[in-house]
Amino acid sequence: MLEELKKAVCAANLDLVAKGVVIYTWGNVSQIDREKELVVIKPSGVSYDYMSSKDMVVIDLNGNIVEGKWKPSSDTATHLELYKAYPQIGGVTHTHSTNAVAFAQAGMSIPALGTTHADYFYGDIPCTRELTQQEVEETYELNTGKVIIETIGNNDPLKIPGIIVKNHGPFAWGIDAANSVYNAVVMEKVAEMDIKTLLLNPNSSMSQYILDKHYMRKHGPKAYYGQK
């Protein structure tokens, strides 16, 4: 079932390791088949060193295992909340990448300070509020998804395709699994750039017109970056 999707999701998970944003088992990627309303996701705690497409788990939107020999990722409920809230999202990635986590632990958004950021994220990458004790103790992963949705609100999630959960770490998304990994890697890189920039000049900023220009030339109605 969904064999090609399993291969794509497995490849996306392995790409996290190749890009240096994940070590050990510190991450997970999923992708949804909207027509079938099924999600393929990485299994919980399985080493990347030996992981193959056969290890991927197929679940429905209620988190029930449809196919697979392993338990799905412990962050499954978070992924599912995002898929249910935003039909634009086709893939979700979660990591514990160092620099993005630093902002999460500091409880700070990742500010848009330069054009690298503006090419992919149309504004600051927000940090959620801290979950309450009750939210953590009752249904932690589900409520993690809910606090992400609370923070995004009615905004288009693809304009700022990522977020950091306070004290936890980054989640990114995109049109599919590979695109969500791409955005997670970019998020980590711009977080690294920001930390270094803010060390040099804590008052750094970027004008809105520069943000607009760089985002719109890649994503706007008159985008001209790249080849047609």
Cβ atoms of residues 77 and 139 within 8 Å: yes
What are the sequence ranges of the domains in the chain? 3-219
Give the span between the Cα atoms of 81 and 146, in whole angstroms. Answer: 7
Give the span between the Cα atoms of 173 and 204, in whole angstroms. Answer: 27
Would residue 140 show up in a list of annotated catalytic residues for this protein? no
Model confidence over 172-214: pLDDT tens digits? 999 999 999 999 999 999 999 999 999 999 999 999 999 999 9
What is each CA distance from 186 to 37, 61, 104, 114, in whole angstroms? 28, 28, 16, 13
What's the CATH number for 3-219?
3.40.225.10
Cβ atoms of residues 29 and 91 within 8 Å: yes
pLDDT confidence bin for 222, thresholds 50/70/90? confident
What is each CA distance from 30 to 11, 36, 145, in whole angstroms? 11, 15, 14
Model confidence over 80-125: pLDDT tens digits? 999 999 999 999 999 999 999 999 999 999 999 999 999 999 999 9
Would residue 224 show up in a list of annotated catalytic residues for this protein? no
Model confidence over 39-59: pLDDT tens digits? 999 999 888 998 999 999 999
Model confidence over 59-74: pLDDT tens digits? 999 999 999 999 999 9
Please tell me which residue in 119, 156, 182, 224 is annotated as part of the active site.
119
Residues 223-227, mean pLDDT to the nearest whole number: 87
